[in-house]
Each structure stands twice: as C-alpha cells, then as structure tokens.
C-alpha cells in the first residue's frame, strides 16, 4: 500500500520585513504527524538488514506520534506493535494507537515532575530483549530516524524553496528532524542557519531542567541522534509562549496545529520582526490539533493550568435571542428552556399543541 508519506505543503506567514516565511504542515501525513516519516524508514531499513520480518513484534518508547506511525505501517505488513507510554500521553494519541491495533504498555505511576523518557526507553529495550521475535526501533538512537529526514524532509524543503532557504526552525526531541534536515541542507548550502527550539525545562541545548506541560518533545538528556555541529542557534520557549503562538497562527491561517508546533511558531513570529527581505525561512510543524483537543484546545485545561483563555468574539445578541427562542444555546450546552419538538413547530409557523403547552 502506498501511504503517500511526505511531500507535505507549506503555508506562508505574513510579515512586515518582506521575507518569505513558511510553515511546513507535517500533520498532513497519513498518520497525522512528522513521525510517519521515521516510522516508515525505521521499518524498511530493518527489513532490508534482515532484522524484521512478518510475524515479529516492534517495541518503541513513544509520547504518541511515533507509535501511531509504526502501528499504521505495521498493520499492513503483519507486525505487532507495543508502545511504551507514560500516563501523560494525550488521549487523542492513545485512541489512535489503540484503533490501529497496537498494544499500549503504560508505565507505573511516577512522582510529579518525573521525566519518564529514559525509563520508557529502558523498559522498551528490556521488553525487546526478552520477548521472542521482537525488536526495539529505538527512535532516540536509531540512525534511520535522521536518515528519514535527510532523504525526505530536507530535499522537500530544498525543492519547495527553489534552493533559496536561508533558515530552518525545528522542534527537538529525538533530534532526528534537525539532524537529518540539517545534514542535507548544509551539504548544499553551508551558510544556512539551523535553529533548534525546545520547551523551557528541556536541557538538550542547556538551560535549567524543569517541568513543562506541552508534550511531544524536549528531554532531560542529549539523545544519540543529535549532531550538534549542524545546529547554529537554539532557544527555549515557555508553555504560555507556545500556546499564544498556536492561537495566533490559527487566527491568521485558519490552521490548527499541535503543541510542539507552538515552539516553532514562537520562533517564526520572532523572526517576522527581525528577518531581512532576502530571508527564506521554513519552520517544520510536527503535528496537528487532533492530538491536543483535551489539552491546549480545551478551555477547562487552559484555566486549570493557569493559562489565559484565547480571545473570542461574542455572538451577536440578536443571534443569542433567536437561538434562545428556538430552544438552542450559543457556545454552551446548557439547556435553553425549549425542546427540539417546540423548535420544530415554531419554525413551521404552527401553534404548539396543547399537550406540549401543558408539558
């Protein structure tokens, strides 16, 4: 089956500097994220080496997206996927993993603020060693991860910009994206600037270790896949800054993106104020909103975690009145005082039957 992974589009970001600033929408991969790319490459390269054949099991430590990609591809190839996840993985990701037939292995409860990634990796490696006919794809140290981006994402960006790209902005976690894209582009244009963004509290590029709520990247250690020599600039982004950038992007483009995309967008909006007219900048947005509807797109979650709710225009009073007369409500599910049968009679211009009036 040809899943059409890759060749994702870019959308322009308006700026006053005359620069070409674009966001590459990885959510339009068939599994909904950039991790589809590495899932396919890790599986195909393992097959080519004779390490993987139908009937075997694939085990991976994942915050969700890699497990989705692996499960999607494995299902058509006859593999069983076991995803080792902690209990902070958003429900939207877990639902997709399970729907694709993969098994989810949950970590035992951990203390507040505990970084579970290294524990997840250790458990995945142990399971792969003890389960017959199983391998761990080990995305944090597997060279096939950056290879996927050196062969795919990097060449796509080069083609989409006509070779004129001057800066790349990428979120970091496993560091496969930034390493693979960086290798490809620096080989063709040594002067290109490769910019890494991570959440405040992640220490891949230094800083003080701490907690962050946006999930899907950032680490308390430096992954083996990182080639730090190709990274020119790094920055830390707070949860609040990322969420603000996500909602701004939605207002400007109508596109809803995922949490880690907020780190990239925050840096892109900063570059909107300082780029030159000769700049061609591409930010890689890892996934979409469907994984985060119960977190960064939930007003309750935002309030519970102390974030300001995004500005939202109120419905005109006339709409509230008309909807209310029909028993409906606007932007709330509270009862409007009438039933749907009442509304039907009113719209037909018929008087309410006495049985309904007496009800």
Instruction: Map out the domains of the chain as residue ranges.
Output: 10-28+151-304, 35-136, 317-357
Rounded Cα distance between 26 and 187, Å, is: 23
**pLDDT by residue (tens digit) across 33-59?**
999 999 999 999 999 999 999 999 999
Predicted confidence at residue 228, as pLDDT, reads 98
Strand, helix or coil for residue 143: coil
Q: Do domains 10-28+151-304 and 35-136 have the same CATH topology?
A: yes
**Fold adopted by 10-28+151-304:** Rossmann fold (3.40.50)
Active-site hit among 35, 77, 186, 303: 35
**Across all residues in the chain, what is the average pLDDT?**
91
Domain 35-136 has CATH 3.40.50.450: no
Predicted confidence at residue 341, as pLDDT, reads 59
CA 333 to mean position of chain CA atoms: 29
**pLDDT by residue (tens digit) across 305-340?**
999 888 776 777 888 888 878 778 887 665 545 555
Query: At how many degrees (to 10) do helices 239-253 and 259-272 cross?
Result: 80
Residue 357 has pLDDT above 70, yes or no: no
Residue 236 has pLDDT above 70, yes or no: yes
Tokens 């005109």 belong to: 316
Predicted confidence at residue 353, as pLDDT, reads 63
Residue 98 has pLDDT above 90, yes or no: yes
Least confident of 74-83, 139-148, 150-159, 344-353: 344-353
**pLDDT by residue (tens digit) across 273-291?**
999 999 999 999 999 999 8
Whether residue 60 contacts residue 137, with contact meaning beta carbons closer than 8 Å, is answered with yes
Residue 81 has pLDDT above 90, yes or no: yes
Question: Is 4 annotated as catalytic?
Answer: no
Predicted confidence at residue 256, as pLDDT, reads 98
Which has the higher per-residue pLDDT, 309 or 159? 159
Overall pTM surpassing 0.85 (yes/no):
yes
Residue 358 has pLDDT above 80, yes or no: no
**Torsion sign (Cα): 29, 203, 95, 53:** positive
Rounded Cα distance between 72 and 70, Å, is: 5
Whether residue 236 contacts residue 199, with contact meaning beta carbons closer than 8 Å, is answered with yes
CA 287 to mean position of chain CA atoms: 3
């Amino acid at each position: 089956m040809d899943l059409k992974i890759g060749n994702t589009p870019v959308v322009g970001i308006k700026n006053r500097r005359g620069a070409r600033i674009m966001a590459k929408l990885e959510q339009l991969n068939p599994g909904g994220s950039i991790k589809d790319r590495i899932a396919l490459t890790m599986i195909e390269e393992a097959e080519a080496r004779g390490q993987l054949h139908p009937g075997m099991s694939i085990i991976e430590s994942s915050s969700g997206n890699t497990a989705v990609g692996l499960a999607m591809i494995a299902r058509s190839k006859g593999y069983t996927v076991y995803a080792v996840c902690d209990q902070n993985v958003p429900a939207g990701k877990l639902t997709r993993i399970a729907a694709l037939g993969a098994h989810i292995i949950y970590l035992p409860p951990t203390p507040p603020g505990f970084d579970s990634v290294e524990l997840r990796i250790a458990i995945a490696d142990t399971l792969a060693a003890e389960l017959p006919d199983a391998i761990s794809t080990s995305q944090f140290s597997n060279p096939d991860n950056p290879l996927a981006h050196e062969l795919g994402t990097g060449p796509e960006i080069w083609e989409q910009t006509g070779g004129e790209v001057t800066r790349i902005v990428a979120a970091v976690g496993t560091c496969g994206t930034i390493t693979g894209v960086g290798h490809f582009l620096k080989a063709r244009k040594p002067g290109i600037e490769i910019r890494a963004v991570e959440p405040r509290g992640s220490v891949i590029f230094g800083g003080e270790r701490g907690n962050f709520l946006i999930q899907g990247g950032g680490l308390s250690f430096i992954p083996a896949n990182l080639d730090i020599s190709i990274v020119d600039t790094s920055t830390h982004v707070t949860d609040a800054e990322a969420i603000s950038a996500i909602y701004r992007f939605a207002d400007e483009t109508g596109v809803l993106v995922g949490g880690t995309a907020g780190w990239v967008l925050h840096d892109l909006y900063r570059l909107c104020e300082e780029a030159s007219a000769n700049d061609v900048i591409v930010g890689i947005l890892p996934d979409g909103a469907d994984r985060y509807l119960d977190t960064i797109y939930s007003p309750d979650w935002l309030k519970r975690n102390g974030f300001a709710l995004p500005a939202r225009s109120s419905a005109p009073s006339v709409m509230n009145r008309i909807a209310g007369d029909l028993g409906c409500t606007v932007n709330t599910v509270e009862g409007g005082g009438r039933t749907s049968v009442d509304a039907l009679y009113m719209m037909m211009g018929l008087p309410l039957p006495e049985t309904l009036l007496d009800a």
